[in-house]
Amino acid sequence: MTVADKHEEQELNILERTLKRLTGGRATNTHTAFEIHEMIEKGLPSQDIIYFVESLTTHYNKEMTLKVIGISERTLYRRVKNPAPLTAEQSSRTWRLAKILTKAEDVFGDREEAQRWMNTPAMGLEGRKPIDLITTQVGYELVDDFLTRMDYGVYT
């Protein structure tokens, strides 16, 4: 197996685990990145996002998590009574958060440690907390790149 094949397999594994994380482990018919893209465009179900937000440990400030997603707590929980999917933008932001958490778990080998790291200033991110950076696409890419470098043992 080449390095490229291994990377592609790892990326597919991250996609599948991220999807499971967002659906509460529920089986879906979604299997490819294109199908996930379509699902995000249609909007992730608010019930799944409530489950996801509540599944995060005490290391997470719910307000910051919802800021990353781009929705207020009140609006999210109002959707319990009136279920409606998130917007495509909110769904995309939620996907980025869940995917970076999944990747951090791979790097740190532990869910708790990954979540703790997300809320800790990192020298490789100019002393910023990863959770604060992933509110934008550029910040997400900085955190994702940093995790990749950490995974390969390159911290600078």
- Read off the pLDDT of residues 36-85 as tens digits, 9 standing for 90 and up: 999 999 998 888 888 888 887 655 667 777 788 888 888 877 877 788 88
CA distance 152 to 41: 33
Residue 16, pLDDT score: 87
The pLDDT tens digits of the residues spanning 95-130 come to 999 999 999 999 999 888 998 899 899 999 999 999
Helix (H) or strand (E) holding 123: none
Q: How far apart are CA 77 and CA 144, in angstroms?
A: 29
The Cα–Cα gap between 67 and 97 comes to 11
Mean pLDDT of the chain: 83
The pLDDT of residue 7: 52
pTM of the predicted model, to two decimals? 0.83
The least confident of 8-12, 18-22, 32-36, 52-56 is 8-12
Largest CA distance in the chain: 50
Which residues make Cβ contacts (< 8 Å) with residue 64, sequence separation at least 6?
131, 132
Q: Report residue 11's pLDDT band, with 50, 70 and 90 as the boundaries.
A: low
